Amino acid sequence: MSSKYAFCKGNDVYKKYDNNYKKHKKGYVILGPPGIGKSTFIKSQISEKRNWIDQDELFKDLGVDWKYNKNNYEDFKLNYLRADYMSEQSRVLGYRLIGSLSLLKNFKADAIVIPLIKNHSNYIQKRKDLHLSDIKDIRKIYKNYAKTQNIKIFYSIIDAVNYLENK
């Protein structure tokens, strides 16, 4: 079997992130569905070194491609297992990530953000790539994931961040 996915050393990538992001004694991962303001929150951090990393950007730099090979189940599965591993590795290294749920749901996040439907609807109206009917289905997946993994749900990213940073 030939697979595009093999683990690589992330040292160079993490060195790059060390220049722009703080490493903490304890890393965290916050997950949430599309259209809740994850990227906006990441970009709004104004300190010299930011606390929270956009999981999509980190994964891109580490070579994880979310859309790769949906027709080959083995590579598809390996890609998502690798994403789960990278999330855990980043957390252990003291990084704080905000991102989306892996389709395999093997990874346990520290917090889930699911805004009130009214607020979420307002957020996604600004995005042409998102539709409320799809978002409602995705919200159910996140709620079930949080319930089965016993993960606290928050209505906003700020609430989740404040909770974790003051634990």
Nearest CA to 54 among 111, 91, 100?
Answer: 100
pLDDT of 104 above 70: no
With respect to residue 54, please indicate whether it lies within any of the assigned structural domains.
yes
- More confident call, 103 vs 82: 82
With respect to residue 6, please indicate whether it lies within any of the assigned structural domains.
no
Q: How far is CA 135 from CA 58, 68, 127, in A?
A: 24, 22, 12
Residue 12 has a pLDDT of: 85
Other Cβ atoms closer than 10 A to 73:
9
> Would the pTM of this model clear 0.85, i.e. be above it?
yes
With respect to residue 8, please indicate whether it lies within any of the assigned structural domains.
no
Count of structural domains, the chain? 1
CATH code of 144's domain: 3.40.50
The pLDDT tens digits for 131-154 are 888 999 999 999 999 999 999 999
Q: Give percent above pLDDT 70 in the chain.
A: 89
With respect to residue 3, please indicate whether it lies within any of the assigned structural domains.
no
Sequence-separated (6 or more) residues with CB below 8 Å from residue 106: 80, 81, 84
Q: Which domain holds residue 89?
A: 13-165
Q: Going by DSSP bridges, is the β-strand pair 52-54/153-154 parallel, antiparallel, or unpaired?
A: unpaired
